[in-house]
Amino acid sequence: MSSIIPTLIWYYYICLREVWLMAHEINPEQDNPLVELGRIFHEYAYKREKREISLNGMKLDLLKRGENDYIICEVKKSSRFELSAKMQLAYYLYKLKRMGIEAKGELLIPKEKKRIRIELNEELEKEIEKTVEHIKKIIAKEKPPPPRKTKYCRKCAYRYFCWA
């Protein structure tokens, strides 16, 4: 069974069933046009910046040097999943802090020309810790949570797994 990766934090704020499926390596349909669009967008957004840094089980989209610190950037194609993206970025900051690296975060949505700053504080750390504990409980279950219709189901790459 996989450990708590940042993608699970992302899915947690969208669908608990997706958390279980992803953790158990049941991958979404790869020929879903939205999955492919995400790959293409990720490849071409912010081409001039330092891109995708792998660090201790995390893949950071961008790393920038601030005046006195580092800025970890997460690039998304839209703000549709803004809460999930913010929490995934907060998880990066949380993990980096545990490694002795103080950083700030920026959620970048180039298509919408949005830049949202994220700073880890005590309240956000507690939220991340609660989320991680709940994810561990979900993953430990023998079966996935039952499907629940949400506003995200219509375009979800797992929709046939849940609703066929």
Flag residues of the chain having pLDDT under 50: 1-2, 35, 37, 40-42, 46, 48, 50
The predicted structure's pLDDT at residue 19: 95
Q: Let me know if residue 1 belongs to a domain.
A: no
The predicted structure's pLDDT at residue 1: 36
The predicted structure's pLDDT at residue 2: 44
- The Cα 91–Cα 138 span in angstroms is 18
Strand ranges inside 1-78, DSSP E: 51-55, 58-65, 70-75
What are the strands of the beta sheet with 58-65, ordered from one edge? 51-55, 58-65, 70-75, 103-109, 114-118
The predicted structure's pLDDT at residue 120: 96
The predicted structure's pLDDT at residue 58: 72
The per-residue pLDDT for range 83-115, each reduced to its tens digit, is 999 999 999 999 999 989 889 999 999 889 999
Q: Give the total number of structural domains in the chain.
A: 1
Q: Could you tell me the CATH number of the domain that includes residue 158?
A: 3.90.320.10
The predicted structure's pLDDT at residue 31: 59
Q: Let me know if residue 30 belongs to a domain.
A: yes
Q: Let me know if residue 45 belongs to a domain.
A: yes
- The Cα 73–Cα 105 span in angstroms is 6
Range of the domain at 48: 6-163
The predicted structure's pLDDT at residue 33: 53
